[in-house]
Structure 1
Amino acid sequence: MGDQARMPFTMAVIHEVQRFGDLVPLGVPHLTTRDIELQGFVIPKGTMLITNLSSVLKDETVWEKPLLFHPGHFLDAQGHFVKREAFMPFSAGRRVFLGEPLARMELFLFTCLLQRFRFSVPPGQARPSDSAVFASGDTSHPDHNGGSRKDETLIVDSPMPPHMEDPGWCAWQVYLEWPGEPGVPEELVDSTAAMGLLTGDALWALSVAVAVFLLLVDLMHRRQRWAARYPPGPLPLPGLGNLLQIDFQNMPSSFQKMRFRFGDVFSLQLAWKPVIVLNGLAAVREALVNHSEYTSDRPWMSMYDHLGFGPRSQGVILASYGPAWREQRRFSVSTMRNLGLGKKSLERWVTEEASCLCTAFANKAGCPFSPMSLLKRAVCNVISSLIYARRFKYDDQRLAKMLDLLEDMLKEDSGFVPMVLNVVPVLLRIPGLPGWVFRAQKAFMDMVDELLEEHRMTWDPDQPPRDLTDAFLAEVEKAKGNPESSFNDENLRIVVLDLFTAGMVTTSTTLAWALLLMILHPDVQRRVQQEIDEVIGQVRQPEMGDQARMPFTMAVIHEVQRFGDLVPLGVPHLTTRDIELQGFFIPKGTTLITNLSSVLKDETVWEKPLRFHPGHFLDAQGHFVKREAFMPFSAGRRVCLGEPLARMELFLFFTCLLQRFSFSVPPGQARPSDSAVFGTIVTPTPYQLCADPR
């Protein structure tokens, strides 16, 4: 091996043989372990990477004669050997071929052959081709000029010349000939040509092999179910898992039935994605509070990629648990506080909007109407004031379109199809499919972009921020040049989408539940109004400071949230390490579904779990008591960041409405049902009411 340094041309030839031969053109596949940015593109975690080493070894921008055998590629002008950066037949990086040193030694020792022999084309035979056989069974190979060659036949012979009859020596000759050339039997040509065709038996064998392969892949994805102490669950079907065993129109009901069979902690397989469903206060609290460090991550939701979700634009709600999420949560909380959350300034905004809502209700006096549309507009204006410093009139057509799209968007989020697309994300690569399935999402995002563009045109960086968008834009300016920052234009869109949808939908729907329950329980309504009259009166507007003296009203609002059960399954979590939960083993990378409905309606905790009963939040003396099992905003590190704003809106809107009006079932109409319509958000069955001024 020491001779290498003094044999530059030989070294150049050996390296050129490796480059030209290009033995492993696609290398060995790699897999990303986190989201990365590559050549300006987003590559999600869990993506397989195929490194086309052939494109490097035969790159026209690097090699002088990439498609020809040319040892000069590895020689400089003085004839010295030069190793090129684009020479990577053994791959590169941490997974470079570990046998490279041995291979280099063996290849150099090929000089022993050239030391002893001179090699040539056998006399009378055609010059063999230097084209490659790329795979077993290939019968047509491109030549170096872009054309194709006829099928080639590999003839292996082992003549024993007289001067090599020594038993210790055997020389093999390999002749590569064209079919039809002299010396090649016709039968061999025919049989070789036939090798490119699959007969019926071969096709059947191939089908069986593919089926067995797919079953093995399916079993590989299920292997963790065989681990000791893995939670029990229904038997999954190959490929589909338990997708066909879940009622996606009412998932809480499906999970309740499975809970009766398998217990508070059970497992599911959604296609190839392992899922654990947690039921009951003990299991949910242990996961979200006791193990919060390892259960606060989110599974990647591929169905939102078309909206702009990516490694640097994950928003807040669905962001991976890490620095970017902490940065955005800290920013959102502090900015809302700076804009008045928890202070009189924001309280005045809400109270003024409540007055506008009461005026709109007064215009309906004496007529049956559905309150949902007006409630959405009022709550939308509160969150819009925080995000855009903008208030819409209730008859604004742009606001009406936005609310309609938002309702359609929530419908698109739920059901069988979105779930399948999320657990089998490769389907989202079908051209046009995301835009067809999620049309409302795209249209709503376009409206968000319009509002942001209008806002950006009026932003003055030298003035104090008017709203959250101004504050975010200021942070974007500060973060320029910092690729690790989550403050960028792409993430602004997602943060605004998160805060707007979550802040508007849940609060307005809770108020719709509150008014429905008031007309169904007039005795409760009268008692709330009595407490309002005693503490606030008919003239002064409600204030947050009144809560402490209104225990029954507080109990009613909390019971509305418990009974309404708006987000029964919460937002999915993801384990970032192996944990033990209720005696079961939960592997790293498992999706956790927290069945909050099973906590809010737990028979072991609540006296009347399936009925509206404000007494759940009152002690024997009539004092308000907040219960541990009350978690409509989830719990732990990923608890809803808008909880303080939601509590303020619910109290001020609810008390303002009941201070001004008495609500009842419209005359001649049937008593509405308190049953729910299940979806991404659980809404009350559509109803009408009458609002009579007090």
Structure 2
Amino acid sequence: MEAAVDVAAKWVEENITVLTCGGISVLVLIASTLYLTCCRGGGGRAPPGPTKWPLVGSFLNMALLGRDKPHHFFPMIHKKYGQIARIYFGQYPVIVVSGYNAIEEVFVKQEENTIDRPSFVPGVKAVKRIGRGVLFASGEDWAGPGKLLRSSLATIVNSVEYETILTEEIKILIDDFSKAGQISFQPGGTIEKAVLTCRYAAITGKRLAHTDPSLERLLVYLDDISRYGGTFSPLAIVPLLKYLPFTGKAYRNLIGAYDGLQAMLKAEVEDRKQNYEGRAQSVLDFFLEEQKSNPESTHYSDGNIAVSLEECCTAGEPPIGWTVVWAVIYATAHPSVQTKCQEEIDKVCGKSRPVKFSDIDKLPNVRAAVYETQRLVTIVHISAPHSTTTDMDLKGFHIPKDTIIFNHIRSAHMDETQWKNPQEFDPSRFLDGNSVKFPPAFMPFGIGARKCAGSVVAEREVMMMFASLLQAFTFSSTDAMNYDGIGTVAGIRPPYTNITVSRRT
């Protein structure tokens, strides 16, 4: 008992901002003093898993890994407990599915049993007050709006107007790097501004200047959501935390970030309704057309549209910028890969003509380098949560209806039965001669019907930015590269690193 209290006390002192950034210190102490009463939960044919701590479930286990390392938790669970394991997010049992074969079985072959989302958790309810959105919707609430979101994003990203915006943002990015003489990752930096400007233009039709206060507010909202862990962080899952002095402010900041972002987008909806002239130029326009055709449907209410657009920002903007930086980090650490990509870009685009969407399919080495970066880093290392629609059996274990279930994406990307030497950076694994191939275990945007709706947008933006940066610069560093990154409950952002930028001639 004393040892448990000592561990908790040390953790409180050194990691006061772990996962919640406000800390869960009081609850850690409570959990420690109740250690002898904790149980492993489940029983019978329930999957194995770590100790269930009172009130906080498995969040304490994550926190003890260190402030920036909670992403190590899921590989540890896979290694210790196998392909089907049970953890607890607060009071909620969560099934973690690891390994490509198990993931395919659960989310593809038994898709009808795992296609729903757990909209019942407190964090989701707290941020979905004006509408359900698409990400956490199920059944009819998801089917129509989800299909519309996917098709409208694909239409917009393939438009000349969007390509022009992205090209201009890339030019600003290149100019900024030229002046700075280096690339580095920091919240609210040039890369994030470029990505968010493009994303906001795609979903609302409005392009914000980098000096616009609205863009600064958006960046603050997104940083708060990322920093505090989103709807599946301890703050959002454990109701008691909102009432405690250490965590109450952090909880209000998290919910306030969602509310502020949704309010901004709801204002965009209302403004666009007054000015829409009948030619769809953004995701918002497509939703307004559907609203006009189905005025009685709650699926296309102003609030539901605003929440859907918010999800396009929160689920899309951070990983895109992070992927670009990670790709530069790996290109810097592997000069031969960087050179091969640059030679390919020079052959297809020359050294001065801007890279175009139509060039991407002609750049297999660039694409392979990005795909290998996505595989090796796996920025979103667990999927958005699913929920079982019925009682089901998974590899001999019984899973009750309405159980939260995660696809452990990183486990598929590190699966030694699917990849040779998976810990190594080897873009050639995505190449078949001069063509790009996609191994079945590659799933950076998830798998099955609930695969990320914005995957087409994200891939094009990353490819364009990465290829354009390699066309303009050669990257180098005398420092050792940090490949571990900064972990959150669901994502891995790049470390704060500086890389030298040299203009190519």
Whether contact under 8 Å (2:71, 2:492) holds in the other structure is no
Partner of 2:26: none
AA partner of residue 608 (structure 1):
N
Q: How many residues align structurally?
A: 461
Question: Structure with the greater relative contact order (CA < 8 A, sep ≥ 6): 1 or 2?
Answer: 2
Q: Secondary structure at the match of 1:486?
A: helix
Please say if residues 56 and 238 of structure 2, whose CA atoms lie closer than 8 Å, have aligned partners that are also in contact.
Answer: no
Summarize the alignment of residues 539-618 of structure 1 with structure 2, pairs less than 5 Å apart: 539-618=352-431
Matched with 2:47 is 231
Tell me the percent identity.
27
Contact preservation (8 Å) 1:252, 1:569: no
Are 1:286 and 2:100 counterparts?
Answer: no
Larger radius of gyration between Structure 1 and Structure 2: 1
Aligned to 1:353: 169
Cα distance in structure 1, aligned partners of 2:421 and 2:252: 39
The 5 Å alignment of 1:16-55 reads none
The residue number in structure 2 matching 1:335 is: 152
| 2:224/2:257 contact within 8 Å kept | no
Does the 8 A contact of 2:57 with 2:90 survive in 1?
Answer: yes
Deviation per residue, 1:282-329 (Å, 9 max, x gap): 11111111111110111133124333x14x71211122x210111211
- One-letter code of the match for 2:284? T
Letter in 1 for 2:50: P
Distance 1:268 1:500, change over 3 A: closer
Cα distance in 2 for partners of 1:268, 1:245 equals 10
Q: Residue 611 and residue 500 in structure 1: after superposition, are their counterparts in 2 closer, same or farther (change >3 A)?
A: same
| Deviation per residue, 1:62-114 (Å, 9 max, x gap) | xxxxxxxxxxxxxxxxxxxxxxxxxxxxxxxxxxxxxxxxxxxxxxxxxxxxx
Q: Following the alignment from structure 1 to structure 2, what is the Cα–Cα distance between the partners of residues 440 and 423? A: 12
Query: TM-score scaled to structure 2, two decimals?
Result: 0.82
Aligned CA distance change for structure 1 residues 240 and 564 (closer, same or farther; 3 Å): closer
Q: CA deviation at 1:507?
A: 0.7
Does the 8 Å contact 1:412/1:438 carry over to 2? no
In the alignment, which residue of structure 2 is the partner of 1:260? 79
Structure 1 residues 266, 503: CA separation in 2 closer, same or farther (over 3 Å shift)? closer
1:457–1:241 Cα change, 3 Å: closer
Change (3 A) 1:267 1:505: same
> What are structure 2's unaligned runs of at least 5 residues?
1-33
1:428/1:524 Cα in 2 relative to 1: closer, same or farther (>3 Å)? same
TM-superposed deviation, 1:450: 3.6
Q: Does 1:681 find its partner at 2:497?
A: no
- Cα distance in structure 2, aligned partners of 1:431 and 1:675: 32
TM-superposed CA distance for 1:542, in Å, is 2.2
In 1, Cα distance between the equivalents of 2:286 and 2:79?
49
How far the C-alpha of 1:451 sits from its partner, in A, is 5.2
Paired residue for 2:263?
A: 449
Letter in 2 for 1:342: N
Task: Report the residue type matching 2:487 in the other structure.
Answer: F
CA shift, 1:616, in A, is: 2.2
Structure 1 CA distance for aligned equivalents of residues 444 and 383 of structure 2: 8
Residue identity opposite 2:364 in structure 1: P
Segment drifting more, 287-296 vs 441-450:
441-450
Q: 2: CA distance between counterparts of 1:513 and 1:571?
A: 21
Displacement after TM superposition at 1:261 (Å): 2.7
Quick check: 2:368–2:436 contact (8 Å CA) kept in 1? yes
Task: State the alpha-carbon separation in 1 of the partners of residues 55 and 205 from structure 2.
Answer: 49
| 1:530 aligned partner | 343
Mapping of residues 58-69 of structure 1, within 5 Å = none
Cα deviation, residue 534, structure 1: 1.8
Instruction: Find the counterpart in structure 1 of residue 9 from structure 2.
Output: none
Q: Does the 8 Å contact 2:236/2:251 carry over to 1? A: no
Aligned mates of 1:274, 1:443 — CA distance in 2:
27
2:472 aligned partner: 660
Contact 1:295 1:574 in 2 (8 A): yes
Deviation at 1:241, TM superposition (A): 4.5
Q: Choose the corresponding residue for 2:275, options 453, 456, 460.
A: 460
1:649–1:289: structure 2 CA closer, same or farther, 3 Å change rule? same
Pair 1:368-2:177 in alignment: no
Q: Does 1:490 align with 2:310?
A: no
Deviations 1:240-261 (A, max 9, x none): 5544434475344223233333
| Correspondences of 1:410-449 after superposition (within 5 Å) | 410-413=226-229, 419-425=233-239, 436-443=250-257, 445-449=259-263
Counterpart residue type for residue 388 of structure 1:
T
User: Which amino acid in the other structure matches residue 123 of structure 2?
Assistant: M
5+ residue gaps, structure 1 = 1-210
Distance 1:529 1:316, change over 3 A: same
- Report deviation, 1:230: 2.8
Structure 1 CA distance for aligned equivalents of residues 392 and 306 of structure 2: 35
The verdict on how the C-alpha distance between 1:644 and 1:430 changes in structure 2, with shifts beyond 3 A counting, is same
Contact kept? 1:569, 1:596, Cα under 8 Å:
yes
Do the aligned partners of 1:347 and 1:648 also contact (CA within 8 Å) in 2? no
Richer in helix (by share) = 2
The 5-angstrom pairing of residues 145-184 of structure 1 reads none
Q: Contact (CA 8 Å) 1:288, 1:636: kept in 2 or not? A: yes
Measured against aligned partners, the alpha-carbon deviations of 1:549-586 in whole angstroms (never above 9, x if no partner) come to 32221210101111221111121111011222233322
- The residue identity in structure 1 corresponding to 2:279 is P
1:650 aligned to 2:462? yes
C-alpha separation in 2, matches of 1:451 and 1:278: 35
Supply the distance in 2 between the matched residues of 1:639 and 1:449 (Cα, whole angstroms): 27
Question: RMSD of aligned C-alpha atoms?
Answer: 3.0
Contact 2:360 2:464 (8 Å CA) reproduced = no
Instruction: Please list the CA deviations of residues 363-418 of structure 1 after superposition, one character each: whole Å capped at 9, or x if unmatched.
Output: 33xx3352551111111111111122222223334323421331122111269xx6
In the alignment, the residues of structure 1 paired with residue 237 and residue 462 of structure 2 have an alpha-carbon distance, to the nearest angstrom, of 36
The one-letter amino acid of 1:468's match is: V
TM-score computed with the length of structure 1 as normaliser = 0.61
Instruction: Identify the residue that residue 153 of structure 1 maps to in structure 2.
Output: none
- The answer on whether the counterparts of 1:579 and 1:585 sit within 8 Å (CA) in structure 2 is yes
- 1:602-627 Cα deviation digits (max 9, x unpaired): 222222322322122134x4643211
2-structure distance, mates of 1:457, 1:269 = 43
Q: Which 10-residue stretch deviates more, 670-679 or 519-528?
A: 670-679
